[in-house]
Amino acid sequence: MTQVSSTTAKPSFDPKTQPVVGACNLAPLSEQELTAEFIRTAFTQAKRINWQVEPLYTHAFVKDFREHPQSIQSAVCVGIIQHQGTLHVLFTKRAEHLPHHAGQVSFPGGRIEQQDADAVAAALRETHEEVGIAPAFIEPIAEQPIFLTSTRFAMRPVVSLLHEGYRLQPNPQEVAEIFVVPLVELLNPRRHTIHHLPRRFGREGAYFSIAWEGQFIWGATAALVRNLYHFLSAAARQL
């Protein structure tokens, strides 16, 4: 995939500078396991799979928006594509002028608006608006647990397969850059680093980061990646 980008500036908070407090030594998934067929099967059989959310964020995951009604309901598309013979995941780097999470790496997505039928509809609409991929090319296959962010968002990830034929057209008002990461590398826990989170973010804690070819995935986005890893790892063992 050709990288699409526009001018970006350095973020006011650099998560790379925070102290590293740990690494992850869980077993990685193989490329042979991470196929579109396996992912479809895993989510189809989700009720059979015994798994737990990322332990570092047990307090931050909920199953339903009604469990945290004061939060801003939102949805993101975890878009998986076939690229150069292997599965990759699509990410955006948010524009610097945005009021929330400016300059950060994220999945396409945003608030669930009144016209959206549900979180899936919102994720597809936002993906079209942000990166130009029309809903006809997106196959939603599952919703994962909602993540509660420190900025009062309740974020529902919609895991989807992106099919050939779409055109990338980033919205410069929202997106500074589009890039992809191989799924097998993204879900390799040995690439996941734990950093200390300073109290300025509401409470002292920790966050994950994943570095890939100059990109730095962290915070809520990395937490959703960790949850996807835990689910697919459990599916690989149990199915």
42-58 confidence digits (pLDDT tens): 999 999 999 999 999 99
Check residue 83 and give its pLDDT: 83
Write out pLDDT tens, residues 7-26: 334 445 678 899 999 878 89
The model's confidence at residue 36, banded by pLDDT at 50, 70 and 90, is: very high
Question: 215 pLDDT exceeds 50?
Answer: yes
Rounded to an integer, the average pLDDT of 199-217 is 83
Enumerate residues 6+ apart whose C-beta is below 8 A from 48.
238, 239
- Domain presence at residue 75: yes
Task: Report the percent of the chain where pLDDT is more than 70.
Answer: 88
Give residue 102's domain range. Answer: 18-238
Enumerate residues 6+ apart whose C-beta is below 8 A from 138.
77, 79, 124, 127, 160, 161, 162, 163
**126 with 94: CB under 8 angstroms?**
no
Joined together, the tokens standing for residue 122 give 């919102």
Rounded to an integer, the average pLDDT of 106-112 is 96
- Domain presence at residue 119: yes
Check residue 101 and give its pLDDT: 55
Check residue 97 and give its pLDDT: 57
Strand-pairing partners, residue 206, are: 196
- Domain presence at residue 161: yes
Question: 38 pLDDT exceeds 80?
Answer: yes
Instruction: Give the count of domains, the chain.
Output: 1
Check residue 151 and give its pLDDT: 86
Task: Answer with the residue of higher pLDDT: 95 or 88.
Answer: 88
| CATH at 23 | 3.90.79.10
Q: How far apart are CA 140 and CA 170, in angstroms?
A: 21
- Domain presence at residue 11: no
Check residue 42 and give its pLDDT: 98
Rounded to an integer, the average pLDDT of 194-207 is 76
- Domain presence at residue 6: no
- Domain presence at residue 136: yes
Check residue 85 and give its pLDDT: 85
Check residue 126 and give its pLDDT: 97
Check residue 198 and give its pLDDT: 76
The model's confidence at residue 150, banded by pLDDT at 50, 70 and 90, is: confident
- Domain presence at residue 8: no
- Full-model pTM: 0.91
Check residue 174 and give its pLDDT: 87
- Domain presence at residue 9: no
Check residue 11 and give its pLDDT: 44
Rounded to an integer, the average pLDDT of 92-120 is 84
Q: What is the mean pLDDT of the chain?
A: 90
Question: 2 pLDDT exceeds 70?
Answer: no
